[in-house]
């Protein structure tokens, strides 16, 4: 069986799958490099949000989601990926991961189902109906996060209310930051682009409480709508809060989102408090459930269009000039 990177068509197929991952403001801050029988994932520093993401946390969470899609595509192609995170952080800080493919391995039906949802998953900023996500689905999503070394914490009614109040306060404070708003405007442009968030994916403006979507005040012409009265909120956490944890959070996020899509569950994000935390260069106090990396709104929403994507050829960069030294530290998750 030929490995996909042996042909140009196979490379495009892998990169098309990886590039469907969600990313902060649809910046798609990733690049890929072919190195023998391995694929390297690199950060694209020109696409980092300088104001909202000074630590590069959101960039690495985004790249982690693309890494999960890449691993999943390799599995569906009939190979067993082994992932090496941050192989040479001092000499090559943009090199986030190397994916090796040392052996054949048939994908499971679950992996095939997850892969089938790469193209159908959407970030849904529309109002959700009042139907609750069943406990057994939430349990499946929690297991999915745990398989990537993260923890998904569904919040109860009081916890959701408190967090949504915090989201509203963070939104208000961010709305007074001119540099933040300028950066937001730069990625919510009009016209035809292969990245960023066009108006057709922003959803309606919020009419009333609670604050369950970003304001995106740069597009005041959007219609207003009332959203669900009792949003279901979950927080994705990791034990640590360092670059490797952010990459794991992104992989966990994408596994959760693909499984949610398979269950017919919609998702969007309320990360304003995390943006504010990063902009202030603060860290979370130690918590038994870990450090918050994503705040996710779950529910049942209408069909929405896909955000634009960069073509696969644009994601590929030149060959590696040197190889990292030392022995690879493979991730403990050998399969999906």
158 & 292 share domain: yes
pLDDT digits (tens, 9 = 90+) for 17-31: 999 999 999 999 999
pLDDT tier at 173 (50, 70, 90 boundaries)? very high
Closest CA to 124 of 284, 315, 319, 265: 265
Residue 41: DSSP 8-state: E
Same domain, 155 and 113: no
Q: How far apart are alpha carbons 298 and 260 in whole angstroms?
A: 9
224 falls in which pLDDT band (50, 70, 90)?
confident
Number of structural domains the chain divides into: 2
Q: Which residues contact 247 (CB under 8 A, 6 or more apart)?
A: 60, 61, 63, 64, 67, 85, 86, 96, 97
Q: Output the DSSP codes for 84-136.
A: EESS-TTT-TTEEEEEEEEEE-PPPHHHHHHHHTTTT--B--SPP-SPPPPHH
pLDDT at position 14: 96
In a shared domain, residues 145 and 271: yes
* Pair (182, 251) in one structural domain: yes
Interval 259-315: pLDDT, tens: 999 999 999 999 999 999 999 987 765 566 799 999 999 999 999 999 999 999 999
Judge if 190 and 240 occupy the same domain: yes
**Same-domain pairing of 108 and 164:** no
Q: 153 and 95 share a domain? A: no
* Banded pLDDT at 330 (limits 50, 70, 90): low
List the CATH number of the domain containing 18. 3.40.109.10
Predicted local distance difference test score (pLDDT) of residue 320: 56
CA nearest 335: which of 85, 110, 88?
110
Same domain, 59 and 201: no
27 within a domain of the structure (yes/no): yes
| Same domain as 58, residue 142 | no
Residue 250 lies inside a defined structural domain of this protein: yes
Q: What predicted TM-score, i.e. pTM, was given to this entire model?
A: 0.94
Please check whether residues 175 and 274 belong to one and the same domain. yes
Q: Which residues, 6+ apart, have CB-to-CB distance to 17 below 8 Å?
A: 69, 70, 72, 73, 115, 118
Q: Examine the pLDDT at 329 and tell me if it is beyond 60.
A: no
Among 72, 91, 119, give the residue marking a domain's end: 119
Residue 326: inside a domain? no
The predicted model gives 154-175 an average pLDDT of: 93
Nearest residue to 210 via CA among 290, 122, 295? 295
170 and 277 Cβ atoms separated by less than 8 Å: no
307 occurs within a structural domain: no
Boundary-marking domain end, from 59, 90, 119? 119
pLDDT reported for residue 285:
58
Answer whether residue 254 is part of any domain: yes
Cα-based torsion angle of the residue sequence 267, 273, 274, 279 in order, rounded to the nearest 10 degrees: 140
With vertex at residue 282, the alpha carbon angle to CA 287 and CA 53, rounded to the nearest 5 degrees, is 115
Give domain status of residue 199, yes or no: yes
Asked whether residue 162 falls in the same domain as residue 241, the answer is: yes
Band of the pLDDT at 219, cuts 50, 70, 90?
Answer: low
C-alpha 187/C-alpha 35 separation (Å) is 32
Q: Are residues 86 and 154 in the same domain?
A: no
Helices (H), the chain: 8-18, 57-76, 109-116, 135-146, 157-174, 178-186, 243-262, 272-279, 312-315
Which tokens sit at 300? 């049942």
Q: Assess if residue 334 is contained within a domain.
A: no
Q: In terms of residue numbers, what domain contains 199? A: 135-299
Cβ atoms 249, 16 nearer than 8 A:
no
Looking at residues 184-210, what average pLDDT do you find?
Answer: 86
What gap in Å lies between CA 196 and CA 80, rounded to an integer? 33
Q: Do the domain assignments include residue 319?
A: no
pLDDT digits over 235-267, tens only? 999 999 999 999 999 999 999 999 999 999 999
Final residue belonging to a domain, choices 84, 119, 154:
119
């Amino acid at each position: 069986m030929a490995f996909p990177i042996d042909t140009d068509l196979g490379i495009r197929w892998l990169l098309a799958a990886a590039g469907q991952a969600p990313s902060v403001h649809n910046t798609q801050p990733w690049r890929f490099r072919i190195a023998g029988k391995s694929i390297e994932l690199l950060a694209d520093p020109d696409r980092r949000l300088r104001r909202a993401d000074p630590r590069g946390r959101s960039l690495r969470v985004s790249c982690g989601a693309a890494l999960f899609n890449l691993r999943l595509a390799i599995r569906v192609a009939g190979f067993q990926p082994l992932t090496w995170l941050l192989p040479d952080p001092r000499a090559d800080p943009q090199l986030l991961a190397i994916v090796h493919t040392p052996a054949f391995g048939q994908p499971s039906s679950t992996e095939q189902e997850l892969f089938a949802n790469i193209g159908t998953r959407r970030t849904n900023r529309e109002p959700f109906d009042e139907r609750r996500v069943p406990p057994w689905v939430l349990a499946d999503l929690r297991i999915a996060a745990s398989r990537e070394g993260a923890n998904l914490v569904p919040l109860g009614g009081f916890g959701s209310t408190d967090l949504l109040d915090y989201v509203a306060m963070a939104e208000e404070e961010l709305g007074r930051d001119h540099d933040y708003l300028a950066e937001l405007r730069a990625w919510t442009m009009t016209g035809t682009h292969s990245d960023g968030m066009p108006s057709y994916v922003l959803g309606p403006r919020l009419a009333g409480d609670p604050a369950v979507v970003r304001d995106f005040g740069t597009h005041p012409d959007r219609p207003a709508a009332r959203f669900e009265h009792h949003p279901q909120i979950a927080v994705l956490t990791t034990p640590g809060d360092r670059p490797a944890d952010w990459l794991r959070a992104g992989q966990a996020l994408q596994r959760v989102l693909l499984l949610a899509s398979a269950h017919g569950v919609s998702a969007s994000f309320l990360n304003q408090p995390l943006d504010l935390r990063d902009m202030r260069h603060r860290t979370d106090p130690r918590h038994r459930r870990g450090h918050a990396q994503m705040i996710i709104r779950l529910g049942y929403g209408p069909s929405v269009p896909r955000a634009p994507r960069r073509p696969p050829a644009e994601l590929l960069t030149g060959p590696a000039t040197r190889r990292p030294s030392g022995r690879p530290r493979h991730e403990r998750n050998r399969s999906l």
